[in-house]
Structure 1
């Protein structure tokens, strides 16, 4: 028989491809829940006993990450910062400072399209911990929430005694859900390295990172899922070559309102969910965190602006847009280097 590719769903819009014809015993597969989504670790070269111990360490680490970054936990480090109504710099962890520094950088490079200060708008549209009724917010409410956003009102300060975060707009609310999955994925990779493991694939939600090879000695490969509600429909196959990948899509996290899909991706320029024809943006980068930051910004920008940014910044990007009843794809030259020909 030929080399048959097995498909195993690992995350939103990404599918793990493994050779299953005459292959050696599969890698240990560990999984659980975190940050309102699922995590998954495929690791080669360990037995069941070590896998059980590793799973416990993974969950403990992700629980700690969630306690720091969650907007759903009132006592998380991020929630405490959001609840603070002053302008004095607040001490934060190095992790938090790094995430926000990268987010601010990508925000500037996308002309504010990637904006982590949209907490008020996220809640207003019903995608945050404060649930809104299933009605379209009135223009005054949108304008009021929009007035409490802006990357220019948030800064990271480096002092001799550590990292600080300052907001100069008292009601500013930071939401790191756009980058939390990427950060957690990178953090899982660091844990694997600390455990002496060099052949693994880790994922949290829509972010994935690989190192080494699978249990068959082959490269880890993933596929971009077609932007439909049908699972395991492959759009493109990718050899990650030890990189991180993240996909943002408007076709999974939404609700129906008056016959329309209301996307969780909110445009900070309008204060409203996106309505353009770009339905999926996939980015490959050296870290899952960076890929996770860029994919949201590109989704907000829409097809043509996303193309321009991808080319200007030399990003590895794969975009899927909807034209009538069919989907069209576009990739940057940098992305083509990771593509596996069918």
Structure 2
């Protein structure tokens, strides 16, 4: 290539770069939509070029319709939901269920097997017994006899999901998807706003998240991992993510105390009791918020030593906060380090 040709080529490249940046909007804006679902809040953030051109009310209507549909399918607080009707029936025959309920159950069963039972969506009788389900808190700590009776009803071997539908092998089996359904809701709303034409978004349902693309500053989204204290809202760590789901499980807000002892809402299926170790918060990153949600619960059950080793074995980005005599300590997997903002 001759010198004049090189100069012409460089000039054309420079012009192309100039035109590219010139065509970009000077700044981006953010539309925020809020509401209530699943007993908590939701926030959807959409990055747009002109917020005045966005019909936020119409988008919120579509979001609410989808979330109402999910609740009608999977809520254990709604006695008429698809899942509640299955729990209430005494028949052990297979029941045809919706595709979305089957999808979530299939992932819950897969994660239950993957975590050797640490995630168990049949643990509902124990959750209710200890007062963290729709039935409310008991007046006293359950007796050994009550715990033994509830244990008889739990286990993934008590249900079967197949082409014929969902069946239970005991008539009093109770399925509770609260450890994974919220994450599924996040995934569904994230995909919904993408179908509506928004490639850059953040969806947050009660602290479970999924982000796509970039924020209004054209950078990866920055999300806070909360410090596990009940006296204030404080930041433990900032993570920078894009095109990922993020879920946090912790026992520092949902618990009760009796006779000086603290009882976590996270139930260990193996012991049939609330967890008693010092792991207080787990954050998991995964392309699916649903999967991250389920794994975060499983890791809370495992505890920091077993849980961290398990997460390292599958190269999963995980951040843990452990209670110490002096406050809190953090542990995280090697694959999480790249997302932490120093």
What's the CA shift for 1:165? 1.0
* Equivalent residue, structure 2, for 1:165: 166
Q: Secondary structure at the match of 1:115?
A: coil
8 Å Cα contact 1:181-1:206 kept in structure 2: no
8 Å Cα contact 2:209-2:245 kept in structure 1: yes
8 Å Cα contact 2:251-2:266 kept in structure 1: yes
Distance (whole Å) between structure 1 residues aligned to residue 309 and residue 81 of structure 2: 37
Whether 1:38 and 2:41 are equivalent positions in the alignment is: yes
Deviates more, 1:40-49 or 1:119-128: 40-49
What's the CA shift for 1:120? 0.9
What's the CA shift for 1:24? 5.1
What's the CA shift for 1:338? 1.6
Deviates more, 1:75-84 or 1:102-111: 102-111
What's the CA shift for 1:230? 4.2
8 Å Cα contact 1:120-1:148 kept in structure 2: yes
Q: Name segments (4+ residues, structure 1) moved above 6 Å.
A: none
Unaligned runs of 5+ residues in structure 2 are 1-25
Alignment partner for residue 51 of structure 2, among 44, 47, 52?
A: 47
TM-score by length of structure 2 reads 0.89
What's the CA shift for 1:212? 1.2
What's the CA shift for 1:158? 2.0
Task: Kindly report which structure 2 residues correspond to 1:1-342, keeping only aligned pairs within 5 A, or say none.
Answer: 26-45=29-48, 47=51, 50-159=55-164, 164-341=165-342
Deviates more, 1:220-229 or 1:38-47: 38-47
Distance (whole Å) between structure 1 residues aligned to residue 66 and residue 307 of structure 2: 34
Q: Secondary structure at the match of 1:247?
A: strand
Any idea what the Cα deviations from partners look like across 1:23-53, whole Å, max 9, x if unmatched?
9575111111111111110111153551111
8 Å Cα contact 1:210-1:241 kept in structure 2: yes
* Equivalent residue, structure 1, for 2:13: none
Q: How many residues align?
A: 315
What's the CA shift for 1:240? 1.5
8 Å Cα contact 1:154-1:165 kept in structure 2: yes
8 Å Cα contact 2:249-2:297 kept in structure 1: yes
Distance (whole Å) between structure 2 residues aligned to residue 116 and residue 295 of structure 1: 14
Give the number of the structure whose alpha-carbon radius of gyration is greater.
2
What's the CA shift for 1:134? 2.9
8 Å Cα contact 1:225-1:231 kept in structure 2: no
Q: Secondary structure at the match of 1:85?
A: coil
Distance (whole Å) between structure 1 residues aligned to residue 233 and residue 118 of structure 2: 30
More strand per residue: 1
Distance (whole Å) between structure 2 residues aligned to residue 273 and residue 321 of structure 1: 16
Distance (whole Å) between structure 2 residues aligned to residue 145 and residue 206 of structure 1: 30
Distance (whole Å) between structure 1 residues aligned to residue 169 and residue 326 of structure 2: 46
What's the CA shift for 1:220? 1.2
Q: Secondary structure at the match of 2:237?
A: strand
8 Å Cα contact 1:200-1:212 kept in structure 2: yes
Larger RCO, structure (CA 8 Å, separation 6 or more): 1
More helix per residue: 2
8 Å Cα contact 2:107-2:291 kept in structure 1: yes
TM-score by length of structure 1 reads 0.89
What's the CA shift for 1:223? 1.4
What's the CA shift for 1:237? 1.3
Any idea what the Cα deviations from partners look like across 1:265-297, whole Å, max 9, x if unmatched?
001111111111000111000110010010000
What's the CA shift for 1:131? 2.0
Q: Secondary structure at the match of 1:149?
A: coil
8 Å Cα contact 2:29-2:51 kept in structure 1: no
Any idea what the Cα deviations from partners look like across 1:80-119, whole Å, max 9, x if unmatched?
0101122211111111111111111111121111110011
Distance (whole Å) between structure 2 residues aligned to residue 326 and residue 296 of structure 1: 22
Unaligned runs of 5+ residues in structure 1 are 1-22
* Equivalent residue, structure 2, for 1:16: none
8 Å Cα contact 2:208-2:247 kept in structure 1: yes
